Structure 1
């Protein structure tokens, strides 16, 4: 077993041999930060005697007996997931058995060592890697090398990193934080049990799988590199997350990770870091001496846990005792967590990424995923470095049966349609752009013609990847193309016009027809909700006919620009995006809202179809305050006019869909089971008159205009513009890798 010890220049020669080394100095190295490419490096750090002997064990000669070694030819490069000064990370597909067609993340590096505690120094490296097998830790499946490079084949986590979600959400609810940090605590505890100290815990190193569970990445892996100016850094990683004993070089144990755990908890709960100065030096000073400003909006239990974690004396810090993570688990903040169910992944995550297909990469930076995947030959390392990785190879035991034979793996289906960032195909390869057919705040809609079939479609052209792309790919077989600068969403061409226009122009429209229309729309909304998606802007102009037949089955819901995925269990949406008459009361009050939002909008549509006018706007002369006041109070009339002939079942359904309390509002499933929908044949078939179409549409237009003027539209910017991203500016130098 090779032990690579980087000792400082002040240790006298001859080199230490067969002695118990109490102190060790590691050369200071550079750092990069990116999903899958974060490099956890180590600084010049004298280790205290209490640390035990810490050394770097070379990850070498790790091969599953009786199994073939992997090599680069067994993996097909699909996309670039990340790139930095140390190398690249690719999305790859295995092309050979036993796991053919399986997707992995392939990290290409120049050197990799694993930092472990002295108490496991007698283990072979293969045992250490095999032991790092935990539901909340990224799994290493293969490892191999060429003359100049080292390849690590890891889990591909399609949900991206926690930092990306935190940047979008700004801060999480306490229930969200409790879930993520509970899984994180179990993962950290497993690493600590193996003698691995993480030391650089932060949101970028916490990835999300397709179900929304977390996985730790880059644990204890350090890679050698020197920056372009040949300078050495006295610290590595992100200083804001470092424990005081790491900052002041007093030596550290696993308790340093629990300080970082506290920093992460504080950031997730508040959207800010607990200790952050104008520069690196000031930040270090704050970590060592500043008092913690505790936000009073946090619960008593959350404040108590934070104070227990932010102990500058490591010996007093929660989690530093003999019980380790058990101290964390016993804290009152986690009183509602069933740790056994959590470990078995039986608790639902608060957020489920919108990934419908195996190679979706929405949660990765498009700056990388739009590049052509290419792995160029590496520069051969020095002879000494080459010796360090002689025979490097690793195959995960989970891919083999007990007798060493290959386990059969079902091939993954290849997408029929071109998905985002996939296979380097361009929109222009398959379609011809035609004239504009619509303009929006964030996109333009054009007619296009498919070259092969001469079929006409509509395409929405956006300047960046959007929630709409994720929603459409998650719920519908839409085609999405990305050329790195623009995103093209190909959908059906709506030839039949808007639903409300057609109803108002129709000479004869009955309650029975209204039931058929609502049934079709609600069925679609119910499907969306079953996929965890809310539309949030179901106004009549977003409900169109695909053709001019007028058949309810040809109705389509369009424009998912405001759509958003719901949190899986406990979260409520807070973004105040709405359109005039079709906004629920709780949105106006900026309270949390969920699927009930869409039901409210359908209730407004149903009211308008039956009454012949909108429930909250009487005409174009109504002021915005008047309309919003009526919506907020939930007052509307069900007497007079058409209501004298409309069935009681219809009135009951309208009342339940427009209920001011979202918790008492019907769900989409309940609407579909309502007698007014189920027993359509028994409904009146008499004509429902309506107000003058110009008056109805004029009232709506006036309300939209007034609302737009009174509520300025927020400017949407990419994640890179956020404070969270700016404080972690990533320098991405060019590299030949």
Structure 2
């Protein structure tokens, strides 16, 4: 590639070797590329220089710093094209992952490939990513399995990264949609097709469709029906019957969550914070807290917060922290190192699960075990926040 704009945050594309095509979408082509000097691999998205491409860079730049959002490395404007360098996720997308598991597990079409525990891990990753994006004033508008990437081939589903911000928009400036080609029809909220001003709750609807697909192995609506859903007075009743009689059968809490995500009225959809405290996801959070006291004290004593065993960190959003604890977190810049360690011990002893008011874990529940992975994330979040 020829050299282009080399301002801060941009790249000299002549320094990269372009490899195979990884994918193609409405807004450009994605290829693998390697930095000639460091041999570091990246994904390079190339599209025509346009307002849409510039907006994508702006939106993605705004949501950097979260481990469940794909990392923007650099960008270059050159000869009418924009090249965007992104972290390369070797594990592929969630749809590819599900299909590979289908083969490995000998699961037929129409049968759930993922367990409810695995689907819960995936959902939690996406909720955390969307929560972060919305807090930065960005709605994604194209949440679907193909835009959820796994960093490595052996990654857990809780490591999913939200990608492709080609359809993202500023929440504060959204108006009636001018181009209904934005997003993917099967996953679009009905209000997008109804000539009304919508908001970030369109991402919650898409999240509901993703969850429905992961648990039931098919999409909830025919494409032709989506534009008319907004006018259907009996939609909720029909969907409830559809979910209740679904095959394969899913748990009561899973059904309840799906129905509360796929609400035609945007104001009735669950908020992201409510999703995190929904009974279906509580076991995921509880597993993070089973050995929380012992693990937190051990880590704070060792001072080992950069254990190479953990290559990334997932933040539990502050909205999950009770108000009393928020007050303590707010004074983080006023606490000396010794005081911080003392406070960590104080928080650990009573057990964070009691402060979060979560129900106790049912050992025979759907999740099984989730290792010390989440324990570390809770630890890291508190240490960084205090």
Residue 25 of structure 2 corresponds to residue 426 of structure 1: no
Question: Which residue in the other structure is 1:442 paired with?
Answer: 27
- Give per-residue Cα distances to partners, 1:42-75, cap 9 Å, x unaligned: xxxxxxxxxxxxxxxxxxxxxxxxxxxxxxxxxx
Secondary structure in 1 matching 2:243 = coil
Query: Contact 2:276–2:282 (CA<8 Å) still a contact in 1?
Result: yes
Q: State the Cα distance separating 1:454 from its structure 2 match.
A: 0.7
Cross-structure match for 1:472: 60
Task: Render the CA deviation track for 1:218-257: whole Å, top value 9, x for unaligned.
Answer: xxxxxxxxxxxxxxxxxxxxxxxxxxxxxxxxxxxxxxxx
Residue in 2 aligned with 1:564? 169
Look up the match of 2:243.
638
Q: 1:458 to 1:647 in 2, by over 3 A?
A: same
1:670 matched to 2:280? The reply is no
Alignment of 1:128-527 (within 5 A): 418-420=8-10, 426-429=12-15, 431-464=16-49, 465-476=53-64, 478=72, 479-483=74-78, 485-506=80-101, 507=105, 509-527=114-132
Query: What is the aligned partner in structure 2 of residue 536 from structure 1?
Result: 141
CA RMSD of aligned residues (A): 2.6
Change over 3 Å in CA distance of 1:437–1:578 after alignment to 2: closer
Q: Which whole-Å CA distance do the structure 2 matches of 1:456 and 1:518 have between them?
A: 28
- SS of the residue aligned with 2:215? helix
1:113-137 Cα shifts (integer Å, max 9, x gaps)? xxxxxxxxxxxxxxxxxxxxxxxxx
Query: Which secondary structure does the structure 2 equivalent of 1:593 belong to?
Result: coil
Task: Name whichever structure is richer in helix by fraction.
Answer: 2
Relative to structure 1, is the Cα distance of residues 573 and 627 closer, same or farther in structure 2, using a 3 angstrom cutoff? closer
| Alpha-carbon distance in structure 1 between the residues aligned to 2:224 and 2:231 | 10
Q: Tell me the CA shift for residue 628 of structure 1.
A: 4.1
SS of 2:130's equivalent in the other structure is: helix
- The aligned length equals 259
**1:587 to partner: Cα distance:** 0.9
- Taking a change above 3 Å as real, the CA distance of residues 631 and 607 of structure 1, as seen in their structure-2 partners, is farther
1:76-87 mapped onto 2 (5 Å cutoff):
none
Secondary structure class of the residue paired with 1:494: coil
Which of 664, 674, 684 is residue 366 of structure 2 equivalent to? 684
CA drift of 1:475 comes to 1.3
- In structure 2, the CA distance between the partners of 1:371 and 1:550, relative to structure 1 (3 Å rule), is closer
CA displacement at 1:481 relative to structure 2: 2.1
Q: Equivalents in 2 of 1:627, 1:597: separation in Å?
A: 13
Whose radius of gyration is greater, 1 or 2? 1
Q: Please give the residue correspondences for 1:584-623 in structure 2 after superposition, counting only pairs within 5 Å.
A: 584-617=189-222
Residue 89 of structure 2 aligns to a residue in which SS?
coil
For structure 1, the residue ranges without an aligned partner over 5 or more in a row are: 1-369, 373-416, 618-623, 687-737
Q: Distance in 1 between matches of 2:267 and 2:131?
A: 17
SS of the equivalent of 2:281 reads helix
CA distance change for structure 1 residues 501 and 628 in 2, over 3 Å: closer, same or farther? farther
Contact 1:511-1:610 at 8 Å conserved across structures: yes
TM superposition score normalised by structure 2: 0.61
Aligned position for 2:344: none
Give unmatched runs, 5+ long, in structure 2.
65-70, 106-112, 285-360, 369-386
Deviation, structure 1 residue 482: 2.2
Q: State how far apart, in whole Å, the 1-side matches of 2:225 and 2:27 are.
A: 29
2:224 to 616, 622, 625: 625
Equivalent of 1:574 in 159, 177, 181: 177
Partner of 2:374: none
